[in-house]
Amino acid sequence: MVSVINTVDTSHEDMIHDAQMDYYGTRLATCSSDRSVKIFDVRNGGQILIADLRGHEGPVWQVAWAHPMYGNILASCSYDRKVIIWREENGTWEKSHEHAGHDSSVNSVCWAPHDYGLILACGSSDGAISLLTYTGEGQWEVKKINNAHTIGCNAVSWAPAVVPGSLIDHPSGQKPNYIKRFASGGCDNLIKLEEEDGQWKEEQKLEAHSDWVRDVAWAPSIGLPTSTIASCSQDGRVFIWTCDDASSNTWSPKLLHKFNDVVWHVSWSITANILAVSGGDNKVTLWKESVDGQWVCISDVNKGQGSVSASVTEGQQNEQ
Amino acid sequence: MKLKEVDRTAMQAWSPAQNHPIYLATGTSAQQLDATFSTNASLEIFELDLSDPSLDMKSCATFSSSHRYHKLIWGPYKMDSKGDVSGVLIAGGENGNIILYDPSKIIAGDKEVVIAQNDKHTGPVRALDVNIFQTNLVASGANESEIYIWDLNNFATPMTPGAKTQPPEDISCIAWNRQVQHILASASPSGRATVWDLRKNEPIIKVSDHSNRMHCSGLAWHPDVATQMVLASEDDRLPVIQMWDLRFASSPLRVLENHARGILAIAWSMADPELLLSCGKDAKILCSNPNTGEVLYELPTNTQWCFDIQWCPRNPAVLSAASFDGRISVYSIMGGSTDGLRQKQVDKLSSSFGNLDPFGTGQPLPPLQIPQQTAQHSIVLPLKKPPKWIRRPVGASFSFGGKLVTFENVRMPSHQGAEQQQQQHHVFISQVVTEKEFLSRSDQLQQAVQSQGFINYCQKKIDASQTEFEKNVWSFLKVNFEDDSRGKYLELLGYRKEDLGKKHIKEEKEESEFLPSSGGTFNISVSGDIDGLITQALLTGNFESAVDLCLHDNRMADAIILAIAGGQELLARTQKKYFAKSQSKITRLITAVVMKNWKEIVESCDLKNWREALAAVLTYAKPDEFSALCDLLGTRLENEGDSLLQTQACLCYICAGNVEKLVACWTKAQDGSHPLSLQDLIEKVVILRKAVQLTQAMDTSTVGVLLAAKMSQYANLLAAQGSIAAALAFLPDNTNQPNIMQLRDRLCRAQGEPVAGHESPKIPYEKQQLPKGRPGPVAGHHQMPRVQTQQYYPHGENPPPPGFIMHGNVNPNAAGQLPTSPGHMHTQVPPYPQPQRPQNGWNDPPALNRVPKKKKMPENFMPPVPITSPIMNPLGDPQSQMLQQQPSAPVPLSSQSSFPQPHLPGGQPFHGVQQPLGQTGMPPSFSKPNIEGAPGAPIGNTFQHVQSLPTKKITKKPIPDEHLILKTTFEDLIQRCLSSATDPQTKRKLDDASKRLEFLYDKLREQTLSPTITSGLHNIARSIETRNYSEGLTMHTHIVSTSNFSETSAFMPVLKVVLTQANKLGV
């Protein structure tokens, strides 16, 4: 079942472009073409406007919450070519940093796994991806990957910090040697995997889409050795990319579905077993992988409501 | 921003939107005369490869043509979605000809690329358009007001839209309506535009202003609004774009006056109706919003005029412009930096030789500028307003707790702007539940646990079991909650005590009937034969010789009987000799039974007989070795058995109560990734833990690594289905694993409980119990308040009056529960105010005052220490008895707290009260709370610390002297760590470790640890002395890997934490 537990009237004056809950699922951040970013307290079905953040001079495309261990921090990106990092201090939200390093619309922001520190990846229509790293005392260091995607990067998504296959924690005091990686998708129809090895470099190019890649989402790690990325495109296709063997680093795509309209957004559930797909026909669908490896639509969500078909679950049960 | 360029003076056509990859076709312009005055013409196809950062366009094919072109379009006719190149290229030639080319053949390098050709028109064909609804329909326009409609399926005979307009004029533009398929518009340089209705076969409206200066160079329908179109004028005196609405055809709706000189071409974006491109003789390329007139973008072009401009149908941000300086440029309107693009060398050369009048038209070219510098401004700004195609209208994102956040913006036609304002912008937060069965089973499990209805629960599970094994497992689990569990285990293994007993009794009866009467006399012979010798030995009381003689004569029964009479020692020896001699099949079993050597059975039995081995253990093993033996058997099954036996190991682990191994074994056998199979495991584990807690009165609060991982995986699944409270209930408590602590924090907050300090691993109390003025981040540790109570006496200061401290904000729960009279505190006050755990927090350690219901193993239970001070403590004093029977120790704490310092006898060690916990390195032990002012308090007893052990023991033996060094070493180490540790988390960890090591000290006191472990511990202690912690860790690993898990699990992990910290801190 998909049932509405809270309908938030955002009072935005124009299109909403993104809505994201914080780490705990108690606060909602929204952004809109009306150039504002709003934060609501949505605990217990309520909706209390905590902040109405003004500072962008164009439509705001995306918002991203940082991990709460760094405090209450929200990043937003806009058509005005800026990224703004907002921070709550003593109960008030204020602009903490403004990054104006792009020459065109900044379309996507994504915080790195908290294990790496406070790092924000920003993808822009100028084709570049910039990485902001907090170095303390209000300072941010900027690294830029130029020409990552010709005529524009539409989405960035970090790989989880967990070294695949390690279900059990490392002994305390010993820091595992993470490799920072993220995926990006752009107007060159490509998904690129960038990796930091001293400096950022393109590690892989994933080609399957025949039109702009609108969104990429790296699935959260659930302790399995497989890495998974979902991508969606203007061409209506959604692909699930998997890499079973980290050493060989070969990714194979599987077509989840071809929709009749552009697919704008893909989002994994926290347990990485359900994918929410949002399409240009204003349709939201939920997908799940069945035991035989096929992706099955389990729900059509309309205005936050929908039923869940039990076929997948039952199928699995019968298997057992 | 410029993306690509091609040096051609050519007409251009993008491949249709369906086509991937994107191609650009160019056909030599009929107006072109290049520097060589060549009359050659060609049709070329280029691929737009945006992943290639260079400015060059990849040429795919060139076809030498005999024609030059006035117009080139690429229609999607007969296009299948799969083909790489398809559709049809339609070209308008110089001599009234229309030629159809097959682009796939051109790319393939085919010679025959022309599909069809028709030269019905008079004069050059300047206007062509494909109907977007019926792609086989093409409209064309030429001189003499000629307009034809071509059906590509029947190309030979074109139709006309109606009678020719008069006077005859050139048709410069033609365009199909974007909304209504039978509407066509044409325009001519004279300035008139005509709208045709093909169903009526006549012009329905003529559009023209009265200036007579509109020289139409461009015509385009509104992509969305059927009645609107724009006309562009190339007249320098009226360089405007007029927007017309056919409903008000008397005058233009809007006039865009953004160009300084005549407009040569326009293009309306199909992807965003607010974007209209125009290029003019002012050498500008503008992008304006025809609905408002606002200029959104000026392309940073060269200084040349462009005569043709096209949007790329597939990539809405891309456009191409053909300029008179012999170049087609591809631009993006999204701006960006050109830093990474390398400039083409030819660029500079060709501009140096600029053509002054390449067309011979006599038209003046704009003055040639100085050759372009490559140091052009590298940053190009994007459109002023975001194009429609980057405005995401819909989104659905998951968040913690199985919540889905969705929003959708209902599409509103752009001209209804006023209504759009009314639109409400809602965001929906939904709960997604996909695993109904999983949730309901989890719910049942929780109910069973809360109601303690374990037997029922297990029975239901047995009834519902689909496999024999499953049934067995549940039967075994159920037995744990019943009386005489061992007997029931035996029954389950197929051994019924009563049955055997009956059988036995029956046999006995039968035997007795055959017993010889004992009434007769017998003869004592002392002859020299063996009988005589035995007789002699017996008569002299020499049992040993008698037994030897019997053995020698193989009279086993006699030997044993005699040995019994001869005493224990002799019996034992005789048994040994007997076994040495005897060879029967069951000898080893008998040996084991008699010698009580169960380990032997378990270790060496044939694994096929594991049931029998388990039965034997169940029957005979002593409580303290029972678990270990079951464990051992389980381990053997797991390691040596085949796959079937491996699963049976689970049963052994259930008997052993070894949760961790059960988890490991089960996980190996099952696929644990699916929620329901995880549910299968968790059900068993939870029930087993409950069983262990009840039957063995063990503290099950410590959780092994594997179990913790599974439990947190389970909690994650529950949380993902929105069952936050259930997830919290199942999440293991008392663990240091960071991921679990983080999950707990996340769950608590998700429930809407504010928690002070993010990193705090434990949530102190439920919200409703939190006073408003709650203390700061320290509250994050649920054990802190109690510790603080002891710290509350400022050293050397007058303590507050009795009872007062409890009312402070240190422990808010205590307020109101405590009587104010100190005299009664130790008798009436509940042991210690318990922080109220959430009701469903049954996974927590057992409450302090809970006496385990059934104690099957009194051996584990320490009898109360005799009262050593009868004078102070009269035996019959009910108070003292009550105190001693209190299952938990806290009473002295609260009574202590209420005793002001002056009452204490001088010299009594009372560090627990006076020193903050952090400096004692171990919990204040109240080693001698000799409270003379407190009648009824036992004297000389060692009270264990309140929070470290929620157990039932009252007193403790001293740690044997030889092991005292362990305690001092470990405590000293923790002290050192504490003093050099800086962050509060580490300190908390160390504090916690210090408390948990009490488990070890207890085991030392009871001397229950095996010698290998204690010697190992001494080794660790020695390595600590030498500050060689890594060696200590190695030994630690060795102990853990070689010892029995249940024996060491309570303290070894903590010891590891301490060692690791010490190593890290370098103390």
| A187 in contact with B, Cβ within 8 Å | yes
> What's residue A76's pLDDT?
96
More confident residue, A31 or B1013: A31
Residues B73-127 have pLDDT tens digits of 998 887 655 555 578 999 998 888 899 998 888 888 888 888 888 888 888 898 9
Neighbours of B639 (CB within 10 A): 11
Query: For residue A61, which amino acid is it?
Result: W
Contact A4 B425 (CB under 8 A): no
| B709 in contact with A, Cβ within 8 Å | yes
Whether the upstream peptide bond of residue B838 has omega within 30° of 0, thus cis, is: no
Maximum Cα interatomic distance, chain B, rounded to a whole number of Å? 160
8 A C-beta contact, residue B877 and residue B936? yes
| A14 in contact with B, Cβ within 8 Å | yes
Mean pLDDT lowest among B467-471, B483-487, B567-571:
B483-487
The whole-number average pLDDT for the span B480-496 is 72
Give the confidence band of B788 by pLDDT, cuts at 50, 70, 90.
very low
Q: Give the whole-angstrom CA distance, residue B763 versus residue B768.
A: 13
Q: Tell me what the pLDDT averaged over chain B comes to.
A: 72
High-pLDDT (> 70) share of chain B, %: 67
Give the confidence band of B667 by pLDDT, cuts at 50, 70, 90.
confident
Residues in Cβ contact with B778 at an 8 Å cutoff, skipping those fewer than 6 apart:
B784, B788
Strands (E), B533-606: none
Q: Give the whole-angstrom CA distance, residue A317 versus residue B541.
A: 76
The whole-number average pLDDT for the span B57-81 is 83
Question: What 8-state DSSP symbol labels residue A45?
Answer: G
Q: Give the whole-angstrom CA distance, residue B482 versus residue B247.
A: 90
Vertex B68, ends B56 and B86: CA angle to 5°? 60
Neighbours of A311 (CB within 10 A): 13
More confident residue, B881 or A251: A251
Is the confidence at residue B243, as pLDDT, over 80? Answer: yes
> What's residue A113's pLDDT?
93
More confident residue, B1008 or B136: B136
Residues B396-425 have pLDDT tens digits of 999 998 999 999 887 554 444 444 445 678
Closest CA to B194 of B1004, B185, B155: B185
Residues in Cβ contact with A102 at an 8 Å cutoff, skipping those fewer than 6 apart:
A81, A82, A83, A122, A124, A126, A128, A130
The whole-number average pLDDT for the span B323-334 is 85
Residue A64 belongs to what H/E stretch?
A: strand A60-65
Is the confidence at residue B145, as pLDDT, over 60? Answer: yes
The whole-number average pLDDT for the span A105-123 is 94
Residues B2-54 have pLDDT tens digits of 888 888 888 899 998 888 888 999 988 887 555 555 667 888 999 988 877 78
Q: Is B81 exposed, middle or buried (0-12, 13-18, 19+ CB in 10 A)?
A: exposed
> What's residue B411's pLDDT?
57
Question: What 8-state DSSP symbol labels residue B806?
Answer: G
Contact B399 A21 (CB under 8 A): yes
> What's residue A41's pLDDT?
93
Mean pLDDT lowest among A301-305, B555-559, B744-748:
B555-559
Mode of pairing for the β-strands spanning B173-176 and B41-47? unpaired
Residues B819-874 have pLDDT tens digits of 444 444 443 434 444 444 444 444 444 334 444 444 344 444 444 444 443 344 44
Residue B917 belongs to what H/E stretch?
A: helix B917-920
**B845's tokens:** 């350690």
ipTM score assigned to the predicted complex: 0.94
φ, ψ (nearest 5 deg) of residue A253? -90, 150
Closest CA to B390 of A302, A27, A18, A7: A18
| A308 in contact with B, Cβ within 8 Å | yes
Q: Give the whole-angstrom CA distance, residue B839 versus residue B834.
A: 13
| A250 in contact with B, Cβ within 8 Å | no
Query: For residue B719, which amino acid is it?
Result: A
8 A C-beta contact, residue B46 and residue B103? no
Question: Closest Cα of chain B to A95: distance in Å?
Answer: 22
> What's residue A296's pLDDT?
92
Is the confidence at residue B971, as pLDDT, over 80? Answer: yes
CA atoms within 13 A on the CB side of B141: 27
What Rg, from alpha-carbon coordinates, does chain B have? 48
Is the confidence at residue B936, as pLDDT, over 60? Answer: no
Sign of CA dihedral B1058, B1061, B1063, B1065: negative
Give the confidence band of A35 by pLDDT, cuts at 50, 70, 90.
very high
Is the confidence at residue B359, as pLDDT, over 80? Answer: no
CA atoms within 13 A on the CB side of B560: 10
Highest mean pLDDT among B324-333, B372-381, B828-837: B324-333
> What's residue A82's pLDDT?
94
Closest CA to A108 of A130, A141, A140, A93: A130
> What's residue A170's pLDDT?
47
> What's residue B39's pLDDT?
66
Question: Closest Cα of chain B to A3: distance in Å?
Answer: 5
High-pLDDT (> 90) share of chain B, %: 9
Chain B residues in contact with A61 (beta carbon < 8 A): 390, 392
Residues A230-285 have pLDDT tens digits of 999 999 999 999 988 767 778 999 999 999 999 999 999 988 889 999 987 878 99
| B82 in contact with A, Cβ within 8 Å | no
> What's residue B356's pLDDT?
45
- CA distance to B263, B264, B934, per residue, from B218 (Å): 8, 7, 106
> What's residue A248's pLDDT?
75
The whole-number average pLDDT for the span B531-535 is 79
The whole-number average pLDDT for the span B951-975 is 76
> What's residue A1's pLDDT?
86
> What's residue B1014's pLDDT?
84
Report the length, in residues, of chain A.
320
High-pLDDT (> 70) share of chain A, %: 91
Is the confidence at residue B367, as pLDDT, over 60? Answer: no
| A304 in contact with B, Cβ within 8 Å | yes
Residues in Cβ contact with B391 at an 8 Å cutoff, skipping those fewer than 6 apart:
A15, A17, A33, A59
Q: Give the whole-angstrom CA distance, residue A228 versus residue A217.
A: 9
Contact A152 B380 (CB under 8 A): no
H helices of B764-863, in order, are 784-791, 825-828
**Three-state DSSP class for residue B960:** coil
SS3 of chain A: helix, strand, coil, percent, to 5: 5, 55, 40
Residues in Cβ contact with A84 at an 8 Å cutoff, skipping those fewer than 6 apart:
A37, A53, A55, A56, A75, A76, A77, A78, A95, A97, A98, A99
> What's residue A94's pLDDT?
93
Chain A residues in contact with B749 (beta carbon < 8 A): 24, 26
Closest CA to A104 of A81, A123, A127: A81
Chain A residues in contact with B335 (beta carbon < 8 A): 103-105, 125-126
